[in-house]
Chains A and B, each alone.
Chain A
Amino acid sequence: MYQSFLSWRFLTARRINWVGIIGVFVGVTALILILSIMSGFLDQQRRMVRGTLSHIVIEPSPLPHIDGEPLPKSAKPLLSAVLEDERVEAACAQLSWFALLIQGGRGSAYSASRLSDTTSAKLVGVQVVGVDISDEFRTTELRAALELPPEGMSFGHVPVDDPDNPFAAPPGEDSGGPWAWCIVGQQLAIVHGLHRGSEINLGTMVPDPMTGEVRQSNRKYLVAGTFRTGENESDLGRIYVDRAELHDFLATGRDYSQVLVKLHDYEADGEVIAKELSSTLAAKRLLRSADMNEVKTWEQYRRNILGAIENEKVLMAIMLSLVLVVAGFSVFAILTMMVAEKRRDIGILSALGGTRSGTLWIFLLIGFWDALLGATAGAVAGVLGATYIDPIERAISEFFGVQIFDRNVYLFDHIPAVVDPVSVAAIVLGAFICTLLFAAIPAWRASRLNPLEALRYE
């Protein structure tokens, strides 16, 4: 076809066409890179939002069952009922309460003075979570959180002597009293200068379920080590202790506040299972009612923040698509110029028997080549760039001697990037559509030109 032959010649003869190709290239590369990194960030964020949760959260109402019978005070019946379902892989009970970190104890004078300084108006509230450690390990990611964090993240890490048994007194440690051991978030340990064997004093207030009277109590714990989940809120404000120990300390009500459930295949039918659990457990009088939202998937549990993340992604994609519009516009500008320049040639083609649609195709095809070359190179560069963003960033940072991506700020050990083939395909397709639409305008004008205007006078 003379159209494709000529469009290629017109394309390669004029160096200005590089501008169009590079425009598409830069647009596609940038879009893929940025979306991949954004996806990576959002994925990380999602994972962190899930954080210390498992797949399903069961939070029984404090009220009795709707027929009036109080819910059991022990987690045992609920746990065994949940485990009866064969789609459930593991479950654990947690007792969770809030406490004030009143003062650092032995070996933490620095934080002791800080915490007792009333003028700073700083109260350190922490979440104390009582867990059954082996159930917990089977259900959540806590076991992994005790390991040495990845390079760059390990500052402040205090290894637990026996990670499989973190609440046991380390051999040879003098506890200095009958106190229990706990594990604290790594950030918390950094802020308060905690290390292995540090004493912490937790103060709390517990309302009496009968009288409503608030009782104050406090208890000392010893730091066995740190955990790091990557979720800032937990790492900065959470302390794990043994559940029976915490129940003893609080000395009130139920010995659990929620049950976390891990499924064999959450992605497949997590929501359905949550619904079914809700009705079977309510029927067994382990929940107040089947429709009180006492059973939630972790995504329902954290819906607000997850919705925001999804929104962010869509918004980002829409705004970034403007890059493609800019690329398309550069193609439009160049083609408009070329059409003006090629009036005479359009006339010649007409004299040789070319048609209007032939002319249209020549210029549309120039747009097509721009899109093909630019988008292909852009897709390759974008995918490669996103895949190797981490070493690339390190190399650039090293070269310029400036830290571009501070891994500590994000609590990431590497720049997260997720290359989604569907997004890449969509971006390439978008580049084609955009470029061709923009090329179509000058191409249409070229086909409407009166060829003789150009031929008659020189």
Chain B
Amino acid sequence: MSDSQILVAKDIRKSFQIGDREVGVLHGAHLSLNRGERLCMMGASGAGKSTFLHILGLLERPTEGEVLIDGQDGWSLGNTQRASLRNRTLGFVFQFYHLLPELNALENVVLPARIAASHGDSPLTLQEATARAKQSLEKFGLENRMDHRPSQLSGGEQQRVAIARALLLDPPVLIADEPTGNLDTATGGRVLELLLKEQEERGLSMILVTHDPRIAEACDRVMAMQDGQIQSDTGVEIPH
């Protein structure tokens, strides 16, 4: 593993126990993500993309294999350290936004900083985090929505809040699982534009799962996942 790689996954296998049946989903998937790289992952529904992302994102333990984040084997850490690593190095954007309904937009964005503080290694004070959160919400056109609850926001607005939240602590890696999958084309386009722009400006690495070939075109590299394995991982060639 070279210094240029921020995230490496080796021979990831995952199977689920359903009743007394073992169902294999991932059969030795590899991945390496360079710093500042924008990687797109495609594949049929049920191919195991989300499962793979969760393993990369240290949310679900693989049956076999290791995930190195900045050289650190994420799955060999203890629960608390892994949670802290997730907090500081990984930003998630989900298809269904996943904001906390009890908090308003601003509070949702600031939440990662609060959690970082509970790990005792917050890079920001609460004031700094709030200021930064306001800044990005303004930048995303939500200056009048800061004290709105998620239920009072449109899907596009919610996803922009979720992006601001993912970016708050400046994590080196962004993981986005069909971030526009739940939005209409026009809104999705604008949200994606915003996400890509931020990633570009901040020089973050990103793994983006999408079904949309046009989005894939905007990526540095495209991977295709099929039957639990990475089938093609080459250049910008797009499988049609």
Measured CB to CB, the residues of A under 8 A from B are: 1-3, 5-6, 9-10, 13, 344-345, 347-358, 451-452, 455-456, 458
Contact A353 B102 (CB under 8 A): no
Q: Would you call B27 an interface residue if the criterion is a C-beta within 8 Å of the partner chain's C-beta atoms?
A: no
Contact B87 A353 (CB under 8 A): yes
Q: Can you list 17 A-B contacts with CB-CB less than 8 angstroms, sorted by A residue number?
A: A2-B115, A2-B118, A6-B100, A13-B101, A347-B98, A351-B98, A352-B86, A352-B92, A352-B165, A353-B84, A353-B88, A353-B112, A353-B119, A358-B83, A358-B115, A358-B118, A452-B60
Closest 9 pairs (CB-CB, A-B): A353-B87, A2-B114, A13-B102, A9-B102, A355-B83, A348-B98, A353-B115, A353-B86, A458-B96
Contacts of A352 in B (CB 8 A): 86-87, 92, 111-112, 115, 165
B47 to chain A, nearest CB (A): 14
Contacts of B60 in A (CB 8 A): 452
Contact A348 B83 (CB under 8 A): no
Contacts of B87 in A (CB 8 A): 352-354
* 11 further interface pairs, Cβ-Cβ under 8 Å (given A352-B111, A355-B83, A452-B54): A2-B114, A9-B103, A13-B101, A13-B102, A350-B83, A351-B59, A353-B112, A354-B115, A358-B83, A452-B59, A456-B54
Q: Would you call B80 an interface residue if the criterion is a C-beta within 8 Å of the partner chain's C-beta atoms?
A: yes
A7 to chain B, nearest CB (A): 10
Bound state CA distance, A347 and B92, in angstroms?
A: 12
Contacts of B116 in A (CB 8 A): 353
B111's partner among A1, A2, A10 (CB-CB below 8 A) is: A2
Bound state CA distance, A107 and B50, in angstroms?
A: 105
- Interface residue count for B (Cβ, 8 Å)? 31
Contact B98 A1 (CB under 8 A): no
Measured CB to CB, the residues of B under 8 A from A are: 50, 54, 57, 59-60, 79-80, 83-84, 86-88, 92, 94-96, 98-103, 111-112, 114-119, 165
Bound state CA distance, A458 and B83, in angstroms?
A: 23
Contacts of A458 in B (CB 8 A): 95-96
Given the known interface contacts A2-B111, A355-B83, the answer about A350 and B59 at a Cβ–Cβ threshold of 8 Å is yes
Considering only CB atoms, which chain B residue lies closest to A344 in the complex? Answer: B98
Bound state CA distance, A347 and B99, in angstroms?
A: 11
Q: Kindly name the residue among B80, B100, B116 whose own CB sees the greatest number of chain A CB atoms within 10 A.
A: B100
B144 to chain A, nearest CB (A): 22
A346 to chain B, nearest CB (A): 10
Contacts of B100 in A (CB 8 A): 6, 345, 348-349
Bound state CA distance, A111 and B83, in angstroms?
A: 91
Given the known interface contacts A350-B83, A353-B86, A356-B79, the answer about A455 and B114 at a Cβ–Cβ threshold of 8 Å is no
Considering only CB atoms, which chain A residue lies closest to B88 in the complex? Answer: A353
Contact B98 A455 (CB under 8 A): yes
Contacts of A456 in B (CB 8 A): 50, 54
Contacts of A1 in B (CB 8 A): 114, 117-118
A369 to chain B, nearest CB (A): 14
Considering only CB atoms, which chain A residue lies closest to B165 in the complex? Answer: A352
A363 to chain B, nearest CB (A): 14
Contacts of B84 in A (CB 8 A): 353
Bound state CA distance, A355 and B59, in angstroms?
A: 11
